[in-house]
């Protein structure tokens, strides 16, 4: 029987994804001058020939002054249709889509999570956030000292700041459309700026951008609305949202915000999770020892076997908003796990990250009917941690080690070198 993973998926904008397997966004750390370099394009051409239904790029920051890592590609200035800028990004888009796979650019602003020195604002320059809530890694002395060393206390955004960042998101999306990409994904997860607005823990505002779930969603809704005005109707606009940020006490607020995004006309929603303060997905996790992000009760063995980190949350979204195209990312390692999520109706698209970094053609194996289920897998061991990890916050170091390890594998892809699965070096 033909795998449901091979089914094409048509998005509301009309874009057709040839199958349900999406290469998820990962940090590449290749753009040394914060521009789409040849090395970055070389890595993405490998995924382009890998049989994916869609390719999501790593973060493209909307402001070069505020980066997630020092080597993120970013918009350096206001976009006014400069032909040289379009040509620069078109070369990247062409390589990403060289073999026919639609490429969708993840556009982002890190807000308060921008590291000191990451961006052109300088080591002591202010980060931006909806409210002046500093990063919190824990109550211990080491945790508090590390947070102060790594991040500055953010400045609460003024109305002019908000309007300026909205314009930067719109400029970036318009540039990606002009360059020939198939769409953008607005990054509203992992503790970055949009997530900071959505979350009541980091948004303490009492104006039109805070105070209620709907007002906290206004920032991203305005971004979505303004982007739609300047890109072709066939250009895809998706969004990535966290599930694990939100406790059972705020679960209904999150569902309200998702409903507003659905009403605004998004083409797909990706469910993910984690942040630097709570690195749920970014650290290595054992899918056999998970708890439900909806009710915090132990998952059944059958659910755990499906591998997906955020399965219950996605199924609840599906129940309430059945017409929404859902992508679920985090933990998929096998054909059986991916097919189970599709057949159970939890999602329409399966996002795969780390296996893609070590096996860029992973979909070719998953979709090959001559390969048995037992061989259609890519299980990965925990990435090695540095010797000094024992003195630093365990969760953060684990997340950093995982992210760094797979960024290194992407860099090997870019150089045409063989990748190395963790534990096999």
- Three state DSSP letters for the chain: CCCHHHCCEECCCCCEECCCEEECCCCCCCCCCCCCCHHHHHHHHHHHCCCCCEEEEEEEECCCCCCCCCCCCECCCCCCCCHHHHHHHHHHHHHHCCCCCCEEEEEECCHHHCCCCCCCCCCCCCCEECCCCCCCCCCCHHHHHHHHHHCCCCEECCHHHHHHHHHHHHHHHHHHHHHCCCEEEEEECCCCHHHHHHCCCCCCCCCCCCCCHHHHCHHHHHHHHHHHHHCCCCCEEEEEEECCCCCHHHHHHHHHHHHHHHHHCCCEEEEECCCCCCCCCCCCCCCCCCECCCCCCECCHHHHHCCCCCHHHHHHHHHHCCCCCEEEECCCCEHHHHHHHHHCCCCCEEEECHHHHHCCCHHHHHCCCCCCHHHCECCCCCCCCCHHHHHCCHHHHHHHHHHHHHHHHHHHHHCCCCCCCCCCC
Q: Are 267 and 348 a contacting pair, CB within 8 Å?
A: no
State the CB neighbour count (10 A cutoff) for residue 385. Answer: 18
Residues 6+ apart with CB under 8 A from 154: 111, 112, 126, 127, 128, 129, 131, 132, 133, 134
Q: Are 96 and 45 a contacting pair, CB within 8 Å?
A: yes
Q: What is the pLDDT of residue 150?
A: 85
Q: Are 110 and 126 a contacting pair, CB within 8 Å?
A: no
Tokens standing for residue 122: 């300088």
Domains, in order of start, for the chain: 4-414 (3.20.20.70)
Question: What is the per-residue burial (b if ≥16 Cβ within 10 Å, else e) of 22-44?
Answer: bbbbbbbbbbeebebbebbbebb
What does pLDDT average to in each consecutive run of 10 residues of the chain (425 residues)? Answer: 92 98 96 94 97 98 95 96 97 97 98 90 91 88 83 94 98 98 96 96 97 97 98 98 69 94 97 63 44 38 50 90 94 93 94 96 96 94 70 58 90 95 71
Q: What is the pLDDT of residue 2?
A: 82
Q: Are 307 and 334 a contacting pair, CB within 8 Å?
A: yes
* Beta pairing, strands 16-17 & 9-10: antiparallel
Round to whole Å and give the CA distance between 79 and 85.
8
Round to whole Å and give the CA distance between 28 and 30.
5
Q: Residue 270 forms beta bridges with which residues?
A: 240, 327
Q: Are 16 and 9 a contacting pair, CB within 8 Å?
A: yes
Tokens standing for residue 390: 């024992």
Q: Residue 74 forms beta bridges with which residues?
A: 61
Tokens standing for residue 220: 């991203």
């Amino acid at each position: 029987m033909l795998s449901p993973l091979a089914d094409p998926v048509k998005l509301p904008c009309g874009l057709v994804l040839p199958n349900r397997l999406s290469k998820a966004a990962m940090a590449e750390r290749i753009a040394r001058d914060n521009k789409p370099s040849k090395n970055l394009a070389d890595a993405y051409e490998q995924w382009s020939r890998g049989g994916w239904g869609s390719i999501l790029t790593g973060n493209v920051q909307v402001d070069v002054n505020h980066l997630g890592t020092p080597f993120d590609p970013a918009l350096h200035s206001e976009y006014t249709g400069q032909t040289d800028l379009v040509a620069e990004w078109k070369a990247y888009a062409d390589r990403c889509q060289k073999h026919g796979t639609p490429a969708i650019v993840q556009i982002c602003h890190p807000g308060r999570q921008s590291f000191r020195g990451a961006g052109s604002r300088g080591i002591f320059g202010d980060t931006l956030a909806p409210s002046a809530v500093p990063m919190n890694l824990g109550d211990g002395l080491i945790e508090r000292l590390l947070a102060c060393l790594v991040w500055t206390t953010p400045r609460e955004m003024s109305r002019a700041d908000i309007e300026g960042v909205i314009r930067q998101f719109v400029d970036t999306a318009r540039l990606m459309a002009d360059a020939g990409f198939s769409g953008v994904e607005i990054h509203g997860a992992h503790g970055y700026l949009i997530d900071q607005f959505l979350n009541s823990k980091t948004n303490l505002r009492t104006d039109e951008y805070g105070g209620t779930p709907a007002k906290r969603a206004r920032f991203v809704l305005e971004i979505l609305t303004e982007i739609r005005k300047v890109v072709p109707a066939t250009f895809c606009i998706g969004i990535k949202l966290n599930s694990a940020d939100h406790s059972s006490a705020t679960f209904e607020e999150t569902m309200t915000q998702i409903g507003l995004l659905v009403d605004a006309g998004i083409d797909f929603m990706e469910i993910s999770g984690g942040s630097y303060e709570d690195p749920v997905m970014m650290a290595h996790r054992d899918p056999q020892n998970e708890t439900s992000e909806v009710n915090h009760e132990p998952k059944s063995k059958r659910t755990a076997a499906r591998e997906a980190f955020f399965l219950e949350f996605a199924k609840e979204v599906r129940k309430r908003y059945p017409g929404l195209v859902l992508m679920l990312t985090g933990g998929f390692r096998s054909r059986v796990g991916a097919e189970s999520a599709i057949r159970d109706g939890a999602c329409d698209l399966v996002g795969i990250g780390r296996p893609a970094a070590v096996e860029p053609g992973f979909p070719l194996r998953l979709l090959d009917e001559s390969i048995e289920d037992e061989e259609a897998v890519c299980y990965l061991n925990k990435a090695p941690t540095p010797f000094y990890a024992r003195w630093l916050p365990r969760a953060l170091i684990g997340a950093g080690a995982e992210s760094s390890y797979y960024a290194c594998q992407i860099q090997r892809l870019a150089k045409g070198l063989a990748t190395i699965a963790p534990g096999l070096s």
